[in-house]
Amino acid sequence: MKNFMQTIALLEMALTCGTLLVWLLQRNFEAQIPVAARIILALLLANLFYWPLGMFMELPLAAYIRGVTGDLSMVSLLLLWSSVLLDRIDPRNTEAHFVPMGFKVAIVIIAFSFYPFALGLGMLDPYGWGYASVGFLIAVSIFAAILAIGNWSKGTFIIALAILAWSIHWHESANLWDYLLDPFLMLWALLACISSVRRKRRERLQSGFLFRAG
């Protein structure tokens, strides 16, 4: 596994970049591309990032991006790939949700509780739990079970795959947190929550059931 680890990580980053370009294409051209076409397009675009382009660059584009972002968590990767490439929701419909709001709120709460301590606030380091804490593994499994109870089995499946990836040391990290959470996932969840609050406020304004301020 170790011999292929860097290749796998580079492939993942290339596919992620390809997927993001497909998402941008759909959003900008307001076109709903069929699933098969999206997958093929993402794979073709991934080649652009995976192979060295030469010129002044020593490495493939994905390697430069990876140098800045590091490896994304499995949850981020699987959510992005499945939402952009496999979901059949019209991307022009901004009110449609690929992911339940409850999950996004949970990610924001967990991230805002986790990062300050993991980055040096006080002597408690929750990041250390990710190495071999049975208690933490049980907590993550309970969270996955709650997603299933909440009728979002895709979320349970994604977390199960993340735990499986951690158990076989799929990425460089031996820490379960790195398979579950990353700053980009937090940022996406935060922006989605803010956007949802704004949309709801706009809807209430449009409904006319708000008192004028002052």
Partner 1 sequence: MINSAVFNPHTNAWGEPTLVIDRITVEKSLSRYIAKLGNPVPARAADGRLQLFFVTVSIGGWAGSSISTMSSSDEGLTWSKPQRLITSPFTNLSTLVKTPAIPFADSRLGLPAYHEWIGKFGELLRIDGDQVIDKRRMSSGRSAIQPLVLVDAPEKAQAYFRQTRGSSKPHQIPVSETQNAGQSWQAQADLPIANPNAAITGVLLSNGLRILVANDLESGRSRLVMLAKDNLDTQWQTIDVLEDDEALAPEQRREFSYPYMIADGTQVDLVYTWDRKKIRHIRFDSNWIKQAYSNAQAKTVSSEEGKQ
From the CB of 99, what's the least distance to partner 1, in Å? Answer: 21
Residue 181 binds partner 1, judged by CB under 8 A:
yes
CA distance 160 to 186: 19
Q: Within 90-119, which residues bind partner 1 (CB under 8 A)?
A: 114-115, 118-119
Q: How far is CA 156 from CA 41, 82, 93, 99, in A?
A: 28, 14, 25, 12
Judged by CB under 8 A, which of 10, 84, 107, 140 binds partner 1? 10
Residues 137-166 that bind partner 1 (CB under 8 A): none
Cβ at position 47, least distance to partner 1 in Å: 16
Give the integer Cα–Cα distance in Å for 52 and 84. Answer: 26
- As a whole number of angstroms, the distance between CA 60 and CA 73 comes to 21
Within the chain, how many helices (H) and strands (E) appear?
10, 0
71 and 165 in contact (C-beta within 8 Å)?
A: no
The residue from 177, 185, 189, 192 that contacts partner 1 (CB under 8 A) is: 177
The binding site for partner 1 (CB under 8 A) comprises: 2, 6-7, 9-10, 58-59, 63-64, 66-70, 114-115, 118-125, 127-128, 130-132, 169, 171-175, 177-178, 181-183
